[in-house]
Copies of this chain bind each other. A is one copy, B any other.
Amino acid sequence: MDVYRALADETRRVILDELTARDGQTLFEICATLMSRHGVTISRQGISQHLDVLEAAGLVATERRGRTKLHFLTPEPLAEISRRWPTTGRPRP
């Protein structure tokens, strides 16, 4: 629901980075990559809860595939930010 709160945590931002690099990863793949490549030390449930927040914010879509769950990046909600506070065309008096 809250895109802004979803971005407030660094681990969640790294997850978005990781899905940007390779989309459609499972929870286990994300866990493994965060640990090894990004130096994040956290339990699987911790990452699962972060993914729940990202999904509730509409930044990640999921799809069950057998006993795995694929995670896809859906960054459209982020467009609201640049729409709300444009970074161009604001003269500084």
- Give chain A's interface residues, CB within 8 Å of chain B: 4-5, 7-8, 10, 13, 16-17, 20, 23-24, 72-76, 78-79, 81-82, 84-87, 90, 92-93
Could you give 30 example pairs across A and B, Cβ below 8 Å? A4-B7, A4-B10, A4-B13, A5-B8, A7-B7, A7-B8, A7-B81, A8-B8, A16-B84, A16-B85, A17-B84, A17-B85, A20-B84, A23-B93, A72-B92, A73-B85, A73-B90, A74-B92, A75-B85, A75-B86, A75-B87, A75-B90, A78-B81, A78-B82, A78-B87, A79-B82, A79-B87, A81-B81, A81-B82, A82-B82
Q: How far is the CB of A56 from chain B (nearest CB, A)?
A: 15
